[in-house]
Amino acid sequence: QVHLVESGGGVVQPGGSLTLSCAASGFHFESFAMSWFRQVPGKEREVVCVVSASGLSTNCADYVEGRFTISRDNVKNTLSLQMNNLKPEDTAVYYCTRLGSYYNPELADFWGRGTQVTVSS
């Protein structure tokens, strides 16, 4: 059974940094592209960053590019999101997500429960 557990969320000041982690189990983690999505209440989930199964390719949305870095450890079966220079608009619930394709993040097939990130003074 696929199991994705996010951690690392919290409250930070604008300009601050935070690292999110995702522990994956129940599947061949190294065979799947992974991603981080985020969602604000009342709005649709949006992709933040994606990483290929090998970890060699990454891509992030324009609004976080240069500030966020996605990475993975295929030995520990973990996914990470390093967030720097956080802005109030980054406030959302962040989800660890398994993807069917690195090139089509809309084809996510499994989600974690999410972790709250709040950026506020």
Q: How does pLDDT run across 49-103, given as a tens digit for each residue?
A: 999 999 999 999 999 989 999 999 999 999 999 999 999 999 999 999 999 989 9
pLDDT value of residue 104: 87
CA separation for the pair 27, 2 (Å, rounded): 6
